[in-house]
Structure 1
Amino acid sequence: MTSPETFETPQGRRLAYHLTPGEGPCVVFLGGLKSDMEGTKALHLEAWARRTGRAFLRFDYSGHGLSSGAFEEGAIGDWAEDTRAITGALITGPMAPVGSSMGGWQALLLARAVPDRIAGLVTIAAAPDFTEDGYWASFSDTQKSQLESEGRVELPSDYMEPYVVTQRMIADGRDNLVLRSPLDLPFAVRCLQGTADTAVSTQTALRLLDHAISPDMRLLLVKDADHRFSDGPCLGLIEAAVTDVLRLAAAT
C-alpha cells in the first residue's frame, strides 16, 4: 500500500490523504468521528473509483488517523476547516461528497459553504447536529456539571473505545448546526440509513429529509443494517447512490 501524501492547512494542521486521479466530479469520502481513511467504505469506494476511472479523495481530519493533532483538541468546526481547505486545494472542479456519520454533517457543512462546487451528495447514517441533539440532550445534570468543571466527559461507544466529549466540542458544535436554519441543497442528494443503527436513529434521517431543501432528495432505509453500513449489500448501495448522483449531475 502506498504511503499517503500530506497537505498543510492554513491553520497549520497536517492532513494525510490519498488522491486518485480520474474524471470528475471528484468523489470525496468524509469519514466519521474517530474513524480514518483506511475504513472499509473509503477503501471500497477508492477501488470502485479506480475501476471506473473516477477521481477520488480520501483523507484524515486533524486528530484522526495519520493526520496531526490530538482528537480531544478538535471540534466540528476544525474538521470543517480541514475539509474546505483540502478540497479547495486539491480539487479544481466540482465534487461529490460522500459523508458517513459525522462525515454526513461535514458534507452538509461543505455544501452550505460552497454549494456551487457540489455536483451531488451522498450521506451514510448522517449525524448532523449530534453534539447538541445526541450528546448534550442526553447528558445528565452530573455530566453537564462535570463538563463545566473538568472540561470533558467520557461516553461509551458500541463501536470503539469511549468518546471523549469536551466542552469546546459542544460549544463549537452549536456554531455549526445545520438543522436549525434553512439548508439549501440545490443538487441531487441520496441518504442511506440502517434501521438497526444504534448510533444514529432513523428519526435523524427523517428529520434531515424533512428539513433540507433539494430538487431531488431521497432516503433509503435498509432493514437490519447497522451503523457501519459496510457489508457487501450495503457497499453496493453506496456505489449505486454515488453513481446515481453523478449521472444526474452529468445530465444537467
Structure 2
Amino acid sequence: MKFKEIIFSLKEDEEKLVDTFYREEFFNFAIEEDEKGNKFLKVYLREGETLPDFLKNLDTLEERITSPGDWTVELEPFEITEGIIIDPTEKLKEYEYGKIVIKLSPGLAFGTGLHPTTRMSAYFLKKYLKENDKVLDVGTGTGILAIIAKKLGASLVIAVDVDDQAVEVAKENVEKNDVDVIVKNSDLLSKVDGVYDIVVSNILAEVLLKLLTEVNRVTHENSVLILSGVVERKEYMIKEKAYKEGWNTVERKQEREWVTLVMKRL
C-alpha cells in the first residue's frame, strides 16, 4: 500500500497536537526531532484520504509518496531500561551482552522506545512482572512492551491496538524477536477475554479514563496496572477515576511533563 507522506515544521505544543490527533481518531503520524532540537511532524495519508483540517495551517516542508517499507527509523541500539536493549539495527546478540535484546523496526506513529512514556513503562514492567505472569498490553503500537513482557518471563502476553497498521507493525516485531505474543485488533478491551496479572497501557489520559471503566473485567484482586502517556496536568483525572473504580496509586515516575502510574486494588 502506498501513502502520501507530508512533513511539517512543528512549532506548536506537542502534547496538544497529539491530543487533537487522538480526539480526531487520526493515528498515522510521527513526531521526530533532529540533532539541533528541531521537531518535525510526519503525516501519512492513505489513497483518497484528505489532510485533517486542524493541520492545514502548518508549514509544509516536503511531500512524497512512500510505503511501509520506508518507515524504519535509523537509530543506534540503546538501553530502554536497565538490562533491556532496543536494537533497531537487528545485529546485537543477547549472549554477547548478557542483557535482553529487543529487535525493532519502528513503524510510523507507533514509537521507537525513546519516548519517556515507553521508557517508564518498561521500567515498571521489569520491576513488577513476575515469572509466569499473564500480561495484557493495551494500545501496543510497535509491540515493544509486549515483547519485553514475554522476554521477562510472562507465560501469556496479549497485545491489542485499535489501528490496523499498528497491529501489522507489532506482528512484524513479534516475529523478528521469535516470541509467543498474541497481537490483535481491539478497541481497548472490546475483543479481550481472560484475566491478567498485569495490564500495561501507554496511550493518553482521555483513553486511559475509558480503559479504567472496563479494566476490572480483565483483572483480579492482586493485579497491577501500569498506566502511561499521562501529562502531569492530567494526572489528577486518572487518579480520581481509578479510585472510583477501586484502584489506588502505589508508585509514580515522571520524566519531563510525562507521568507513569502504577496502581493496585484498594
TM-score range, shorter chain: 0.3 to 0.5
**Higher helix fraction (1 or 2):** 1
User: TM-score with structure 1 length normalisation?
Assistant: 0.35
Indicate the structure (1 or 2) with the bigger Cα radius of gyration.
2
**Greater RCO between the two (CA within 8 Å, min separation 6)?**
1
**Higher strand fraction (1 or 2):** 2
User: TM-score with structure 2 length normalisation?
Assistant: 0.33
